[in-house]
Amino acid sequence: MQKNIIYKSLAATMVAAAFTACSVPGVVQKAENKNTPGSYTSTTVTDTTSTATVKWKEYFTDPNLQELINTALTNNQELNITLQEIEIAKSEVRARKGEYLPFVGVGAGADVTKASRYTTQGALERNIDIVDGKENPEPLQNYGASLRADWEIDVWGKLHNAKRAAVSRYLASVEGKNFMVTNLVAEIANSYYELLALDNQLQLVNQNIQIQTNALEIVKLQKESARVTELAVKRFQAQVLNTQSLQYEIKQKIVEAENRINFLVGRFPQPVKRSTDAFATLMPNIVKSGIPSQLLANRPDIKQAEMELAASKLDIKVAKARFYPSLSISGGLGYQAFNPSYLIKPQSIIYTLAGELAAPLINRNAIKAAYISANAKQVQAAYNYEQKILNAYIEVANQMSKIDNLQNSYSLKAQEVDALTQSINISNDLFKSARADYMEVLMTQRDALESKFDLIETKMQQMNAMVNIYRALGGGWN
């Protein structure tokens, strides 16, 4: 008999499902394109070694920089906020998992009721004896204790798919954290190298102030001997003042660079420990790009987009399952009596068992809207995934080209600095022998200073390119 009831229920479920499935809105999902070029250049590359697999402690060997990164990974507020978002996503997985398990609860209660004698209930209580021919107690007390369970049978996988979507979003949040770590490491390294460059520019300015001050004293002596006019003295003096002013501009930039690092590290403004002496001799690391398809496994932002895409596909299944009937079972078992001493008697046992089959039939606009919205979000997620891949490829290609061009540029600028440095001595000698105008001396000194500034700037750009290619390849989070 019970088997027949079960079979009839299942048959009714299938009939209702067939009826409702006919009217599920038709939408088109987008298949993501994972194809990438074979290499970052026009030549064929077969070396699959990628710098992205190098740990950041091995990539950045400066102990001061390592200390800053270590502190930031512990204290950075934005990173800690993201870690809490991961905990939220983990709790969402636990919540979704609980939805397809039975909900079991226990309860106990007591109440008292005084029914009017001139009502149906009161008349029945007056004329029916409950125990040993005794009249019902008045007012009538009621005590009970029960165990109750409710369970939605996940016929269409709606609840399981919702849990799997939550797991994918949890994994996406972890990859989001990794991507934040990658960017945090790169930002600290870039700011650190900028700070070293500013220190070297400040040293260069101080050296030039001394050189220009000595030149000013020489011009004053020449003016006393009537070899030059007061105009030459004023022009040399103006150049000294201009360079001194530049000194304070650089000092302000140093303060801002230090505080930018302090913010990333999660501490209040303080001096940043560093060594500036070796900046001119720093050499960028040799970078191995591997092949573009490795970006899909190495870049945290691409893996995050991939997890979000997987979740969006599962959301479609969840939304589609809402068109089908849902089957739920509920039951309870307990004791109930008007006297606590009767609760242990078998006659006080109560139980319920019920099954419910429900399917949306009319006014399903909310379900249709959720289903259409889930499909649109899946298309969005697919485009976002493709965009992340394209962006990663372009970032790597740009940085690789930048590394090559900066290397050539640095070599030429170094030669320019040597030539202009020699021209300073030549112009000074010519000026002393009255074979050169003082303006030639001033212009030569200014050009030499600018070229040295450019050389330091190019060195900083080289180091930044080394950092950015590491980030672009997906390194820094491990």
Candidate from 95-104, 128-137, 234-243 with smallest mean pLDDT: 128-137
What is the number of domains present in the chain?
2
Task: Mark out the alpha helices in 28-62 (DSSP H runs).
Answer: 56-59
Candidate from 7-16, 153-162, 421-430, 441-450 with smallest mean pLDDT: 7-16
Q: In whole angstroms, what is the distance from residue 441 CA to residue 424 CA?
A: 7
- Indicate whether 274 and 332 sit together in one domain: no
The answer to whether position 390 is within a domain reads yes
pLDDT band at 134 (very low <50, low <70, confident <90, very high): low
Residue 414's pLDDT is what? 93
pLDDT band at 161 (very low <50, low <70, confident <90, very high): very high
- Indicate whether 424 and 434 sit together in one domain: yes
Residue 193's pLDDT is what? 97
Residue 313 pLDDT more than 70? yes
Give buried/exposed letters for 115-151 (b at 16+ CB in 10 A, else e): beeeeeebeebeeeeeeeeeebeeebeebbebeeeeb
Residue 247 pLDDT more than 50? yes
Domain span at 331: 105-153+326-358
Residue 298 pLDDT more than 80? yes
- Indicate whether 29 and 117 sit together in one domain: no
The answer to whether position 23 is within a domain reads yes
pTM tops 0.75, yes or no: yes
Residue 14 pLDDT more than 70? no
- Indicate whether 92 and 29 sit together in one domain: yes
> What is each CA distance from 50 to 6, 184, 301, 386, in whole angstroms?
60, 20, 17, 21
Residue 21 pLDDT more than 50? no
pLDDT band at 119 (very low <50, low <70, confident <90, very high): confident
> What is each CA distance from 349 to 38, 103, 110, 353, in whole angstroms?
74, 21, 16, 14
Q: Are 413 and 462 in contact (CB under 8 A)?
A: no
The answer to whether position 91 is within a domain reads yes
How many alpha carbons lie under 13 Å from residue 93 in its C-beta half-sphere? 17
Residue 369's pLDDT is what? 92
The answer to whether position 478 is within a domain reads no
| Averaged pLDDT for residues 270-291 | 89
| Averaged pLDDT for residues 353-376 | 88
Residue 131 pLDDT more than 80? no
Residue 384 pLDDT more than 90? yes
478/307: higher pLDDT: 307
The answer to whether position 285 is within a domain reads yes
Chain segment 99-116, per-residue pLDDT in tens: 878 888 999 888 888 777
- CATH number, domain at 164? 1.20.1600.10
Tell me whether residue 53 is exposed, middle or buried, using C-beta atoms within 10 angstroms of its C-beta: 0 to 12, 13 to 18, 19 or more.
middle
Candidate from 99-108, 299-308, 430-439 with smallest mean pLDDT: 430-439
Q: In whole angstroms, what is the distance from residue 308 CA to residue 302 CA?
A: 10
Q: In whole angstroms, what is the distance from residue 20 CA to residue 190 CA?
A: 59
Residue 249's pLDDT is what? 96
Phi, psi of 324 (to 5 degrees): -90, 160
Residue 361 pLDDT more than 60? yes
- Indicate whether 168 and 277 sit together in one domain: yes
Q: In whole angstroms, what is the distance from residue 415 CA to residue 409 CA?
A: 10
Q: Are 205 and 471 in contact (CB under 8 A)?
A: no
- Indicate whether 75 and 149 sit together in one domain: no
441/294: higher pLDDT: 294
**What residues contact residue 239 under an 8 Å CB cut-off, 6+ apart?**
212, 442, 445, 446
| Averaged pLDDT for residues 175-179 | 97
**What residues contact residue 352 under an 8 Å CB cut-off, 6+ apart?**
330, 331, 332
Q: Are 458 and 413 in contact (CB under 8 A)?
A: yes
| Cα first-last separation, the chain | 62
Q: Are 470 and 287 in contact (CB under 8 A)?
A: yes
Share of the chain above pLDDT 90, in %: 56
Sheet containing strand 103-113, strands side by side: 103-113, 140-153, 326-337, 349-358
- Indicate whether 210 and 299 sit together in one domain: yes
pLDDT band at 1 (very low <50, low <70, confident <90, very high): very low
171/124: higher pLDDT: 171
Compute the mean pLDDT over every residue in the chain, rounded to the nearest whole number.
87
Radius of gyration of the chain (CA): 39
Residue 337's pLDDT is what? 85
Share of the chain above pLDDT 70, in %: 91
| Averaged pLDDT for residues 112-124 | 75
- Indicate whether 181 and 144 sit together in one domain: no
Residue 9's pLDDT is what? 54
Chain segment 196-221, per-residue pLDDT in tens: 999 999 999 998 898 888 888 888 88
Residue 46's pLDDT is what? 65
Q: In whole angstroms, what is the distance from residue 125 CA to residue 123 CA?
A: 5
The answer to whether position 303 is within a domain reads yes
- Indicate whether 297 and 375 sit together in one domain: yes
Residue 410's pLDDT is what? 95
Residue 264 pLDDT more than 50? yes
The answer to whether position 283 is within a domain reads yes
Q: Put residue 475 in one of left, alpha, beta given phi > 0 → left and psi -120 to 50 → alpha.
A: beta
20/261: higher pLDDT: 261
pLDDT band at 163 (very low <50, low <70, confident <90, very high): very high
Q: In whole angstroms, what is the distance from residue 216 CA to residue 118 CA?
A: 120
User: Looking at this protein, which amino acid is placed at residue 163?
Assistant: K
Task: Mark out the alpha helices in 225-324 (DSSP H runs).
Answer: 230-265, 295-298, 300-321
- CATH number, domain at 137? 2.20.200.10
Residue 220's pLDDT is what? 87
| Averaged pLDDT for residues 372-397 | 96
The answer to whether position 13 is within a domain reads yes
- Indicate whether 199 and 260 sit together in one domain: yes
- Indicate whether 58 and 160 sit together in one domain: yes
Strand partners, 108: 145
Residue 4 pLDDT more than 80? no
Residue 340's pLDDT is what? 83
Residue 439 pLDDT more than 80? no
Strands 140-153 and 103-113: antiparallel
- Indicate whether 221 and 319 sit together in one domain: yes
Q: Are 323 and 158 in contact (CB under 8 A)?
A: no
Structure tokens given for 27 = 């939408």
Q: Are 328 and 153 in contact (CB under 8 A)?
A: yes
